[in-house]
Amino acid sequence: MGIFDSIKGEAQRNFIARADSAKGEIVYKYPEKNVRMKTQLTVDADEVALFVKDGKVEGKLGPGRHTLDTNNIPFLSRLLEGFTGGNMFMAEIFFVSNREHTGVKFGGPIGDVRDPETGLGIGTMVYGDFSIRVTEPEKLVVGLVGMGRASNEEFLGWFKGQVLKVTRDRTAELLVKKKWPLLDVTSGAYVEEMEQEILAGLKPHVDSYGLTIVRMGNFVVSIKPEDEITLKKLSKDVAYSRLAGGFQQYAQGQAMLGASEGMAKGGGGSDGAMQGMGMGMGFGMAQMFANQQNQQQQQQRPAEPAQAAAPADTRSPAQRLKEIKELKDAGVLSDEEYNAKRAELMKLL
């Protein structure tokens, strides 16, 4: 290292400010802990500088240029290191931005959500962004130091996880309580309601860190294309079954429709055979559903009074023997049936 580099390094140690590369960060931690007395500290208009020692905020400085001296900044006396003869103090210095930071992106899987309309569990994803503002820098810094997340990247990674967790819980809760069809949710029909619900759910999580989620944007709940096709098909079937008066009636109509299509196509050979089979299956399903419907209707009807018993047979055994002989001769009764009946009548003679 040359003499000019040494001079430059010493000059930098006499001036402290947020690094240019960190202007967009919510929290910036100055890399040095040992600070000389009389050092010039510059705080931008949209931030505050906090001095932390042993996890406790000892003091803060607002916007402007400050000379770090115990004569004009009394709390620095609590940070002095005695072995330096009062020429240095030790502290972690955090620059915390208090302006609104927009466009913080988040996203990830919500997990399986049950669609109230079809009962299917569908895997869902959520994407969007939010804006954040620090309202109490002291709470934020103490919380970050306590969690070991002093860098801006670590802090935002943790915070995005909190947003995703609340979004997952509130989305599932809304679908159950409001009975919103999942297709309506993914279409964006309930974006405003969901955003307000998620913001309310995030509040208790972020208040303890001195943060406020100002607003959310570009909020999208999505599902896989193949799941969307499945849901649309099932939703259509559910809607049609309601119009038809129930699933059995709808299924009966679908079976009849399939049978009609088979008859319209006709054809010979193997294709014709398959179409004939399909037509037969269609009629069979239709008949099955019709029989089930008739059975249900009969069970619901009041019992009808029993019919009067048929009058007793007053013919003599001889007359009945003659009648069965005529039925045998006419081929109505077989020899076996005739002999059985004749034996019964002979016992009566």
Mean per-residue pLDDT, 106-111: 87
pTM equals: 0.60
321 versus 312: which is more confidently predicted?
A: 321
- Rg over CA atoms, the chain: 43
Give the pLDDT score at 98: 94
Range of weakest confidence among 94-108, 196-210, 231-245: 231-245
Question: For 160-239, where are the E strands, in sequence order?
Answer: 211-223
| Percent with pLDDT over 70 in the chain | 70
pLDDT tens-digit readout, 26-69: 999 999 999 999 999 999 999 999 999 988 999 999 999 999 99
Give the pLDDT score at 334: 80
Give the pLDDT score at 85: 64
Mean per-residue pLDDT, 108-115: 86
Residues 6+ apart with CB under 8 A from 145: 52, 55, 92
Give the pLDDT score at 93: 94
115 versus 48: which is more confidently predicted?
A: 48
pLDDT at position 332 over 60: yes
pLDDT at position 281 over 60: no
Residue pair 49/41 in contact by the 8 Å Cβ criterion: yes
**3-class state of residue 208 by DSSP:** coil
- Highest average pLDDT, of 61-65, 109-113, 302-306, comes from 61-65
Q: 303 pLDDT band (50/70/90 cuts)?
A: low
Q: Please count the other Cβ atoms lying within 10 Å of the Cβ belonging to residue 48.
A: 19
User: How many CA atoms does the CB half-sphere of 6 hold within 13 Å?
Assistant: 3
| Percent with pLDDT over 90 in the chain | 33
Task: Indicate the pairing of strand 15-16 with strand 40-43.
Answer: parallel
pLDDT at position 322 over 50: yes
Query: Which residue type sits at 144?
Result: L
Distance CA 346, CA 349 (A): 5
248 versus 15: which is more confidently predicted?
A: 15
Mean per-residue pLDDT, 328-334: 72
Give the pLDDT score at 13: 59
Q: Tell me the average pLDDT of the chain.
A: 78
pLDDT tens-digit readout, 264-277: 555 444 454 444 44
φ, ψ of residue 192 to 5 degrees: the values are -60, -45
